[in-house]
Chains A and B, each alone.
Chain A
Amino acid sequence: NAGVTQTPKFQVLKTGQSMTLQCAQDMNHNSMYWYRQDPGMGLRLIYYSASEGTTDKGEVPNGYNVSRLNKREFSLRLESAAPSQTSVYFCASKFRDYEQYFGPGTRLTVT
């Protein structure tokens, strides 16, 4: 099993450009999450999906949109990137009330 995979690993965008971060899990988990992590800080929840077909806002949803394409895949879209969105983005998934499994992260720089 690959667990949680994310693409791309690194990305540089110019201000105003758009992009989609992809996440997939092969553990048959119902819930999936997108976090951002800024230097010296913990994980802040952007959006999550408790099950296929549902999505909810987290702490910091502004400037982002998500799509739960199917049970395996959960994508995060930046419509018009801003320097404040420079961060490391982690996707995670979990089964019921158990722990979350994290992907390797995407390092995004917006210039």
Chain B
Amino acid sequence: QKEVEQNSGPLSVPEGAIASLNCTYSDRGSQSFFWYRQYSGKSPELIMFIYSNGDKEDGRFTAQLNKASQYVSLLIRDSQPSDSATYLCAVRGPNAGKSTFGDGTTLTVKP
């Protein structure tokens, strides 16, 4: 079992829809959770981070964390073609030095 698993995708949604990206992790001691967006040929950039159980909202983005189920998700409301990218989930354990990344989910938003 991989330490961090994401929907393999690709995921395609129409413009204006909600895109839901999921991530599960195996280390129960994980404490910090990050979502990065990576456009093709570019480097990852942070979208959201979440440390506590529950929801965290920032504009059109909502991160949801359920530590009991070892599950973290990213919801993108009112999806735009510019949201088309690969989304990487990263999980950081008690040793705050290292993060483990999932393989990413590629999202395409169709006009």
**Which residues of A come within 8 Å of B, CB atoms?**
31, 35, 40-45, 48, 50, 56, 58, 90, 96-100, 102-105
Interface membership of chain B positions 24-67, coded 1 if the CB is closer than 8 angstroms to chain A and 0 otherwise: 00000000101000000011111001000000000000000000
Tell whether, in the assembled complex, residue A45 and residue B96 are in contact, meaning their CB atoms are under 8 Å apart: no
Name B92's contact: one of A41, A43, A97, A102 (CB within 8 Å): A97
The B interface, classified by DSSP as helix, strand, loop or mixed, is strand
Tell whether, in the assembled complex, residue B97 and residue A102 are in contact, meaning their CB atoms are under 8 Å apart: no
Tell whether, in the assembled complex, residue A99 and residue B49 are in contact, meaning their CB atoms are under 8 Å apart: yes
B103 adjacent to chain A (CB < 8 Å): yes
Tell whether, in the assembled complex, residue A41 and residue B43 are in contact, meaning their CB atoms are under 8 Å apart: no
The A interface, classified by DSSP as helix, strand, loop or mixed, is loop
Tell whether, in the assembled complex, residue A48 and residue B98 are in contact, meaning their CB atoms are under 8 Å apart: yes
Tell whether, in the assembled complex, residue B99 and residue A100 are in contact, meaning their CB atoms are under 8 Å apart: yes
Residues facing A in B66-111 (CB within 8 A) are 88, 90, 92, 96-104
Tell whether, in the assembled complex, residue A99 and residue B103 are in contact, meaning their CB atoms are under 8 Å apart: no
Tell whether, in the assembled complex, residue B97 and residue A56 are in contact, meaning their CB atoms are under 8 Å apart: yes
A–B pairs, 27, beta carbons within 8 Å: A31-B97, A40-B103, A41-B104, A42-B4, A42-B88, A42-B101, A42-B102, A42-B104, A43-B44, A43-B101, A45-B99, A48-B98, A50-B97, A90-B44, A97-B32, A97-B92, A98-B49, A99-B46, A100-B34, A100-B46, A100-B99, A102-B43, A102-B44, A103-B43, A104-B42, A104-B43, A105-B42
